[in-house]
């Protein structure tokens, strides 16, 4: 996945969504449908659109671009401050491992 594909996938997922649900996106023991159901229960997203979000988020993680995505979110000017802050925290904890 190149940088352009990463940006597009992140746009599909949504920066705040990627950060908010990062831990369950990373959890490979959960099926995509289960993750989507968890998110739909909390958000006002449509189920089909949420499956797309989950699929793209997991693609970012699977292809080793999670830290890059989190850095993009942390430096973005068009994202909620708490999402940006959480992204920075996740970058630090992910790199420390």
Q: For 13-53, write each residue's pLDDT tens digit.
A: 999 999 999 999 999 999 999 999 999 999 989 999 999 99
Q: Confidence band (pLDDT; 50, 70, 90) for 96?
A: very low
CB atoms within 10 A of CB 74: 20
Query: What pLDDT is attached to residue 79?
Result: 87
Handedness of CA 24, 91, 59, 73 (dihedral sign): positive
């Amino acid at each position: 996945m190149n940088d352009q594909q990463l940006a597009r996938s992140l746009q599909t997922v949504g920066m705040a969504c990627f950060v908010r649900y990062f831990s369950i996106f990373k959890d490979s023991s959960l099926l995509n449908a289960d993750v989507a159901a968890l998110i739909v229960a909390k958000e006002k997203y449509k189920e089909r659109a949420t499956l797309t979000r989950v699929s793209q988020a997991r693609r970012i993680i699977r292809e080793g671009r999670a830290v890059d995505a989190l850095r993009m979110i942390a430096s973005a000017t068009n994202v909620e401050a708490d999402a940006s802050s959480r992204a920075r925290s996740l970058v630090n904890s992910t790199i420390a491992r």
